[in-house]
C-alpha cells in the first residue's frame, strides 16, 4: 500500500500536471468505488477546475473550484496513472478523469475509493486521522505522548493512523532500524533517549524515501523515473537473509500481528 513518501511523490507530480486544468470527462466503471451516483459524480466534476492537490496521510485530496473535494485512498492494490488515452494501464480501472490537456488520470481501486465530499464532510471523515509526521505541532513531547497511551509494540502503534498518519509496514521497519529499536519493542520499555532517536529517524527516513520516490514501483507517468527508486535503498524492509548495511549481521524477518517485520538483531538492541 502506498505510504507517506509514495503519496507525497504523487501529490507533487500530479499538482504540476493538473492544477488549473478543467475536467472534461469522467468515466466510472465500478459505482461502489464512489460515494454518490455516477450521474451526480459526473455532474459535479465535468467543467470544474482542480485548484490544487493536497495530501492527508496516505490519501490525496483534490480541491475543486466549486468548493467540493475529491478524496482518493488507493489502499492495497490501488494505482494511479496520468497520461494520454493510449497509455491506459493494462489493469482494471474503476475511475478515469479526463483533463483539458487531453490526458487522463486513470485510477485503479481494488479496495480503495474516490469520494466527492464537501469541506465539512472531509473534516468529519478524517477527524480521527493522526497528525502528519511533519506537522509543526508534532513536537518531540507530543510525539511521545501520542504513543504513551498505546499498548503493545512500537511498530503496531506506528501503523495506527490515529497515532501518526502516513506510516505503513515498510517505513515502520525502516524508521525503527534507523533509530536502533526493534519493531517489536514494547512501548512501555522504550527509554527517553530512544524516543528522541525514533522521532528524528521518522523525519529522516520519510524525507529520504520521498527523494527517491518511495519504494513502490508504480510510476505515475510513462516517463516517470522517480517513483519506486527507494526500493533499491531500503535499509531492512524486504531484505530478510541479506547482510545488514551497518554491521556483519544478517537482516531477519519475523512477524508481528500477522504483519511481516524486518530488523537487524545486532543493530537494533532496544526491545
Q: What is the largest CA-CA distance in the chain?
A: 61
The DSSP 8-state label assigned to residue 49 in this structure reads: B
Please give the distance of CA 41 from its chain centroid, rounded to a whole number.
25
The three cell numbers of residue 222 are 510513462
User: CA 31, CA 254: separation in Å to the nearest integer?
Assistant: 39
The SS3 of residue 171 is: helix
Q: Rounded distance, CA 130 to CA 136, Å? A: 13
Cite the active site residues.
Answer: 2-3, 58, 259
The span from the CA of 35 to the CA of 109, in Å, is 13
Q: Nearest 5°: phi and psi at 225?
A: -105, 5
Q: Phi-psi region for residue 80, left (φ > 0), alpha (ψ -120 to 50) or beta? A: beta
Amino acid at each position: 500500500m502506498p505510504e507517506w513518501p509514495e503519496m507525497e511523490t504523487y501529490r507533487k507530480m500530479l499538482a504540476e500536471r493538473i492544477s488549473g486544468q478543467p475536467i472534461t470527462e469522467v468515466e466510472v466503471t465500478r459505482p461502489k468505488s464512489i460515494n454518490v451516483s455516477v450521474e451526480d459524480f459526473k455532474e459535479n466534476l465535468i467543467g470544474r477546475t482542480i485548484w490544487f492537490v493536497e495530501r492527508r496521510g496516505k490519501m490525496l485530496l483534490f480541491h475543486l473550484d466549486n468548493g467540493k473535494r475529491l478524496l482518493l485512498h488507493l489502499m492495497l492494490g490501488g494505482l494511479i496513472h496520468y497520461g494520454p488515452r493510449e497509455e491506459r494501464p493494462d489493469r482494471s480501472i474503476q475511475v478515469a478523469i479526463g483533463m483539458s490537456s487531453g490526458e487522463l488520470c486513470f485510477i485503479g481501486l481494488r479496495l480503495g475509493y474516490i469520494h466527492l465530499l464537501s469541506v465539512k464532510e472531509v473534516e468529519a471523515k478524517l477527524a480521527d486521522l493522526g497528525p502528519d509526521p511533519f506537522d509543526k505541532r508534532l513536537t518531540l513531547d507530543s510525539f511521545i505522548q501520542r504513543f504513551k497511551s498505546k499498548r503493545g509494540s512500537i511498530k503496531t502503534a506506528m501503523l495506527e493512523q490515529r497515532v501518526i498518519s502516513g506510516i505503513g509496514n515498510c517505513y515502520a521497519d525502516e524508521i525503527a532500524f534507523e533509530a536502533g529499536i526493534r519493531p517489536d519493542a514494547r512501548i512501555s520499555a522504550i527509554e527517553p533517549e530512544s524516543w528522541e532517536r525514533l522521532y528524528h529517524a521518522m523525519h529522516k527516513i520519510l524525507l529520504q524515501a520521498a527523494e527517491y520516490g518511495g519504494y513502490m514501483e508504480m510510476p505515475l507517468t510513462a516517463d516517470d523515473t522517480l517513483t519506486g527508486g527507494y526500493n533499491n535503498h531500503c535499509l531492512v524492509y524486504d531484505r530478510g537473509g541479506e547482510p545488514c548495511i551497518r554491521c556483519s549481521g544478517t537482516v531477519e524477518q519475523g512477524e508481528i500481528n500477522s504483519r511481516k517485520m524486518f530488523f537487524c538483531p545486532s543493530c537494533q538492541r532496544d526491545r
